[in-house]
Every structure is written in structure tokens, then in C-alpha cells.
Amino acid sequence: MGSNDLRRFAAVASEAALTAGALLSRHIGRPKQVHTKRSASDLVTEIDRAAEGRIRRILRRATPRFDVLGEEQGQQRHASAYRWIVDPLDGTNNFVHGLPLFGVSIGLEHQGRIVVGVIYDPMRRELFVAIKDRGALLNGRRLHVAPTRRLALSLLSTGFSSNFLRHREPYLSWFSAFQCRSHGVRRIGSTVISLAAVAAGRLEGFYEQDLWPWDMAAGLLLVQESGGRVSDMDGGPVDLDAGRLVASNGRIHREMLHVIQKV
């Protein structure tokens, strides 16, 4: 796998994300069908499913033997060393209500390592692209995380999963602790947009548990390739299946882990 291969895969993922994003931007705030999945606030629409269908067609045409894992259509296996990990619409609740904070996320995994990550924000027309060991770009411009060195001067983001309705801890304790120790904690409603914001230096950090692989795959590479750090909540490597993530500019990472573990 060489540089040309990775650039080609990144171009394919970018095409797929832009195509799905065009569909989302035309239907924001007015999907015809809205259903629930794991809880009353965990929504899915016919647009989520249509967007994933368009993404899969583009990926399949360019890389027919790659495995694909998508939020809406599950896993398609070919016993490949490569796996696309797709979230066609992260931030469905925002999308349904017409709030323009949602994104498309496509990551490429090779033998357990994310090597390409693409996130597209269709309402701001921002395309984030990361290639392993080759940096990250926003609309062609190099990305860098924020230089902030103290948690007290940082702006953070988090999310509450559907499990919050059954188990409110440690979500509330974490939120309270970070809100008191930083410039504030935002609940943007989209993990992928939050991770892109960390990569772009708009946020210093993000934390959440009970995530899915498609929430994290592309974004964690973006943060790393922008000079940041990602880990699980114990400071170890991220396990996509465990769903526990801390992402930061690197400089405040230890402070974030200390707060999470102390609570």
C-alpha cells in the first residue's frame, strides 16, 4: 500500500461523502419518514438510508472487494484486509429539526489501523481529509490543532448516548466536572463534527463513551494527523468496538484523562 493508493482511496471517500452531503443538504428539516432505533431520541430517516446507499455504490464501484461497515446497512464482508467504515448522517436529530450541525463520515481501516479519514459538513461545505502519516486538510488547507496548553483555557465537546436515559452516570458527573474546569462543554449533537472541530483547532477536546465505530473511525485519524492525540478513557489505544474516546490537541490530554478517571 503506497502513497498513490492512499490518495486514490481518499479521493474515492471524498467523492462519496460529497455525494451523500448533497442529498442531506437538500432535505434538512424535512425528511418524510422518521423512525426510532435504540431509544426515542435515537432517530433514523429515509435520508440516512438513501445517503448510505449512495456511498456504498461509489465505494463498491471503486473498491469492489473491500469490506464495508455502515451504520444503517451493517457489515458486508469479503475477507479483505481493508474495511470502509461509514456513517452517512451523524447528527440525525439535528438534521430532523433543521439544525445545520451534522456530517458524513467515511474511514478506511487496513489490518486494524485507520489509514484514511474523510468528514464532510454539507451545510458549511467543509471537506476534512486525513491520510495516515501524511497530514490532514480542510478544503485543501493544512489542519492544525489548537495550541492551548491548559484545560482551564479550553473549550470542549461531548455527547450523551441513548444509554443516558437508563444510566445518567457518569455522563452528568463528567459534564459537571469539565464545565467547572474549562471555558465550557458543548453538546453539538454530532461526534464527527466535534472531532473535525478538534482537528481544526476550534475545540481543544472531546470525550464520550458508548460510541460506535462509524462515529470515531474518520475523526480520530483527523485529530492525530492534525497534531492531536486520541486514546481510550484509560489513556490506552482506542478500541473502535469499546466505544470510549478522548480526543484532544494533545497538550490538555493528561488533564482530561485525570478528570475522567477521578470522577
125-139: pLDDT as tens digits: 999 999 999 999 999
The residue assigned the cell 457489515 is 75
Using CA atoms, how far residue 55 sits from 16, 19, 52, 63, in Å, is 5, 7, 5, 12
pLDDT > 70? residue 37: no
| pLDDT value of residue 72 | 76
State residue 196's pLDDT score: 98
On average, the pLDDT of the chain sits at 93
Residue range 222-241, pLDDT digits in tens: 999 999 999 999 999 999 99
Nearby residues of 168 by Cβ (< 8 Å), 6 or more positions away: none
Residue 61 has pLDDT above 90, yes or no: yes
pLDDT value at residue 73: 74
Q: What percent of the chain has pLDDT over 90?
A: 81
Q: In this predicted structure, what is the pLDDT of residue 176?
A: 97
Looking at the chain, list the stretches that DSSP marks H as alpha helix, in order from N- to C-terminal side.
3-27, 46-62, 92-97, 171-181, 191-199, 213-225, 253-262
Report the share of the chain in percent with pLDDT over 70.
Answer: 96
Q: What's residue 16's pLDDT?
A: 98
Under DSSP, the state recorded for 225 is H
Three-state SS at 55:
helix
Domains and CATH numbers, the chain: 3-142 (3.30.540.10), 151-262 (3.40.190.80)
Among 18-27, 69-78, 169-178, the minimum mean pLDDT is found in 69-78
pLDDT at res. 167: 83
> Which of the residue ranges 74-88, 92-106, 149-163 would you say has the lowest mean pLDDT?
74-88
Q: Does residue 1 surpass a pLDDT of 70?
A: no
The more confident residue out of 74 and 65 is 65
Report the candidate in 119, 122, 86 with the shortest Cα–Cα distance to residue 101: 122
Q: Which string of DSSP letters, residue by residue, matches 151-168?
A: GGG-EEEE---GGGGT--
- Tell me how far apart the alpha carbons of residues 253 and 246 are, in angstroms, rounded to a whole number: 8
pLDDT of residue 198: 98
Helix (H, G, I), strand (E, B) or coil at 253: helix
Give me the helix-helix angle, 191-199 and 213-225, nearest 10°.
Answer: 10
Report the first-to-last Cα separation within the chain, whole angstroms: 43
Nearest to 15 by CA among 67, 53, 58, 61: 58
Stretch among 93-97, 103-107, 161-165 having the lowest mean pLDDT: 161-165
pLDDT at position 42 = 65
Q: Which band of pLDDT confidence, cut at 50, 70 and 90, is reported for residue 172? A: very high
pLDDT confidence band for 40 (50 / 70 / 90): low
